[in-house]
Structure 1
Amino acid sequence: MKILNELRPSAEGFAGIPQETRIIHSILLENDTIKPYGLLNSNTAPLGPSVARLDRLKRDLRYAQARVVLELAENGNKKFFEVVNREIQKLLTAQALKFRTLTGYKVRLHGVPMQDHGDFLWRKYFSKTLDPKEMTNVLGGDYVAMRFPWQMLQSVGMKKPLRKTYARLDTSKYDVFISQTPWPARVSPNTQLVVRYHDAIPMFYPHTIHNAFRHQFTHYFPLKSNIQQGAKIVCNSENSRNEVLNLFPGHEKLTHVIPCAVSDLYKATDEVPSRERLRDIIRGGIEPATAPEFLSTREERLFYDRHLNADTLDYIMMVSTIEPRKNHSRLIAAWNALRHLGHENTKLLIVGRPGWHVESTLESMKTFQQRGLLFNVSRVSAGDLRRLYKGARAVVCPSIAEGFDLSGIEAMLSGGVVAASDIPVHREVYGDGCTYFNPYSTGEAVQAIQRLLDPANAEERETIRTRGEKLAQRYRRSVIADEWHTYIDRLRARTA
């Protein structure tokens, strides 16, 4: 059984979907009863003609392979003529895709040997989540690529005369194709399309996302097309499944739930990270885009020496891209209130880079950053994030809406204690492993966090922490891997 797995999101960073994409591919590679292939499709940059010639070139093959790798890296030259050339190539490639879509001519996939480019493959697509021990398994896999980037497939389906019509992808060599989001193309009749569904934020919370009209269209209509093709929708939670069925009633038989798997790098250990180690992790990860400005390096050093004192370091934390639905502003308000309720030395640590519609949130942060009370860090390794989780007085997950929310489970597995917004998906995923608060109430957030900070509640805090660590075991990679293998067996039985 040949399974094609889309790897596009795995090139994108530390967010939930990229992390899970890496884990799913690793799980597929472990299954001896299937033959997985990784689809190295770019997000925005089209590949040149070299990729289409790889399987028939007799001369300069190594050069052509290296050229494809460079194009996949998307590290384009910034010189004027190179930029102009790339834009011309994009226009020509888009016209070629439109022609194929109009005529029904299939988009081909091309094998890309990666044996000589293991460093690129590992660092670009897998290293941010997987343990280095898995590198050999990953590099031994098979990979294919396509010329047309994901965003171009979406754009062709958005514009007249092809509006809501999608290109045909030649997947005839594969029994199953797993896409990590609604897929903007049609697959071959013999291929079972499986859509990994994370959330319906563009549909039910469109006011919280950037480029909202495009995101809404590119979410709804590809998903509608997928369902019309008979795609299976594998949701990451019952909450996400309910959202799919809210959008497209009557398709219960197409849906299934497999929760997100958490990287094995998040685990409780005997290590008790020292305050000096935690201070150094925070200091070394300060996010440049939001960092306070200093007149000199000496002033900067003195500032952090004064405000990140290991002897008194005490903090609560949140892990997420800074964006409206994550509710950073509510947490900042609650934390500031806590500072006036006997927790004046407790810092706020926000792990994540700025996203979109963040101007007011960044202004709120800036006031406290300049006083050395709030720190924004990014580019934190999984090992260091595990230490930060364990060293925090509380990990707060205040989102207004989520598809799953990995950060709370990561914290629980790392030995942290969690306070979370009382939304359906948190109740489903976190169960009794945390304390809850109304995401629209600063007062309730204060009470929930204070419940974890108050020394008089030490026994209750430990009970919540222990329950959380036990509950989070159900999202271990080995547990979720069994669910994927069982589901694949069901697909095999149906396609046999």
Structure 2
Amino acid sequence: MRVILSVEALEPRLSGIGRYSWELAERLPLIEDVESVRFYRNGQWITDPGLLLTDGRQPLWGNKPLRWLRKRNQWAVRLKQAATMRSHLFHGPNYFLPPAGEGGVITVHDLSVFRYAETHPAERLAQFERYFRPSVDRAAHIITDSETTRQEVADFLGFDLARITAVPLAASPVFQPRGADATAAALARYDLTPQGYALCVSTVEPRKRITQLLHAWRSLPAAVRSRWPLMVTGGSGWLSDAVRDLMEKGAGEGWVRYLGFVPEEDLPLLYAGASLFVYPSVYEGFGLPPVEAMASGVPVVVSNASCLPEVTDGAAMLVEPEDISGFSRALERALEDESWRRQAIAKGLEVAGRYSWDRCARETVEIYRRLR
């Protein structure tokens, strides 16, 4: 079996889709029956997808876009490219299939661009308006990250569920429980101490409900806020100015800090050193951060919404983020109720252990096999 994997989501700061693409890129070539894997990005072949994760100063040896070729060679190269496409199964892990990928696979991670269009920039909406439905129509099969999303995509597209398969994502093995001696040095660089803070890893945008989290945290008793200030890390998304203003006010009062992006090597230590992980998003296709937190041995609080109850499977405390007072009471319990915390840690490790990137790659290849 010969496979083409699209890798346009790979970049130095990996998003969730970028992480998914990278884990597949590393594992697909190692699976039995996969004869070869080629990597494709916006009209060019990528010989080493790992170079896409660098800072951009390293050359992508051999990765020459078609537009760089002299005109007299372009037609011949395009014909050769089309022949290669026809002889391989094409997988678009980021929603889209090019015309030459007819009969391939796409992964639809969620439908937020349709459900929460106001949280996406205009250029992304235009891209989906133009290319999503043609990609869906030319795909032989669709992958989703959760059963919740599988049902939602089937309803939205009017497709038979047999044409859609849920393949769960996973936390990397670097997310694991660590003692204070293993985390203290890294946390000190952020002026943090082990078990002395709570954590939220999320893009700062409306559907993530960071505003509601901040209001709930501000409603905690002063002693609780002081003992466990909230750390927020992640990119600034669409319509995030109001959230940032609220965080700046909270930072001035000492109960919240926005860390922005942290280096990838520090993130597992930041998870493992947290006393609590909170993820109030009301819409996800899978929700990697709560799984990473559970794998790190940290109690987790998530929204009772979308796929999060499915993915955390009884390990997390479920909250209604729009109910600020109820949300705040739940946070106080999650920080102070030692009996619940012990149970949440044990159950979280069990649930996170069911997921693995090896499993994700194997189940993905099984879908390929059914199409060949």
Alignment partner for residue 174 of structure 1, among 72, 87, 95?
87
Report the CA distance shift for 1:40/1:147 in structure 2 as closer, same or farther (over 3 A): same
Aligned to 1:207: 118
Aligned to 1:66: none
Aligned to 2:33: 33
Letter in 2 for 1:20: Y
Report the CA distance shift for 1:339/1:313 in structure 2 as closer, same or farther (over 3 A): farther
CA distance in 1 between partners of 2:55 and 2:140 (Å) = 29
Aligned to 2:367: 487
Give how far 1:207 is off: 1.8
The aligned runs of 1:335-484 (5 Å cut-off) are 335-340=217-222, 342-454=224-336, 457-484=337-364
The aligned runs of 1:7-26 (5 Å cut-off) are 7-11=7-11, 13-26=13-26
CA distance in 1 between partners of 2:295 and 2:87 (Å) = 36
Alignment partner for residue 168 of structure 2, among 259, 274, 277?
259
Specify which structure has the bigger relative contact order, considering alpha-carbon pairs within 8 angstroms and separated by 6 or more residues.
Answer: 2
Aligned to 2:142: 233
Q: Is the 8 A contact 2:108 2:142 kept in 1?
A: yes
Q: Is the 8 A contact 2:312 2:351 kept in 1?
A: yes
Report the CA distance shift for 1:145/1:254 in structure 2 as closer, same or farther (over 3 A): farther
TM-score by length of 2: 0.86
1:192 is paired with a residue whose SS is coil
Report the CA distance shift for 1:410/1:376 in structure 2 as closer, same or farther (over 3 A): same
Q: Is the 8 A contact 2:170 2:352 kept in 1?
A: no
CA distance in 2 between partners of 1:249 and 1:313 (Å) = 47
- What is the RMSD computed on CA atoms of the aligned residues? 2.7
Letter in 1 for 2:294: M
Q: Is the 8 A contact 1:37 1:144 kept in 2?
A: no
Report the CA distance shift for 1:230/1:407 in structure 2 as closer, same or farther (over 3 A): closer
Give how far 1:175 is off: 2.2
Give how far 1:406 is off: 0.4
Give how far 1:482 is off: 2.7
Report the CA distance shift for 1:124/1:195 in structure 2 as closer, same or farther (over 3 A): farther
1:453 is paired with a residue whose SS is helix
Give how far 1:354 is off: 1.5
- More displaced stretch, 3-12 vs 401-410: 3-12
Give how far 1:437 is off: 0.3
Give how far 1:331 is off: 0.8
Q: Is the 8 A contact 1:239 1:425 kept in 2?
A: yes
Aligned to 1:80: none
| 1:247-267 deviation per Cα after TM superposition (whole angstroms, max 9, x unaligned) | 211332321111113222212
Aligned to 1:289: none
CA distance in 1 between partners of 2:91 and 2:316 (Å) = 33
Report the CA distance shift for 1:382/1:474 in structure 2 as closer, same or farther (over 3 A): farther
| 1:230-263 deviation per Cα after TM superposition (whole angstroms, max 9, x unaligned) | 4311111122222222221133232111111322
TM-score by length of 1: 0.65
Alignment partner for residue 153 of structure 2, among 226, 230, 244?
244
| Alignment size in residue pairs | 354
Task: Give the gaps of 5 or more residues in structure 2.
Answer: 68-80
Letter in 1 for 2:166: V
Task: Give the gaps of 5 or more residues in structure 1.
Answer: 42-108, 126-138, 149-168, 283-307
Larger Rg, first or second structure (1 or 2): 1
Q: Is the 8 A contact 2:104 2:140 kept in 1?
A: yes
The aligned runs of 1:215-226 (5 Å cut-off) are 215-226=124-135
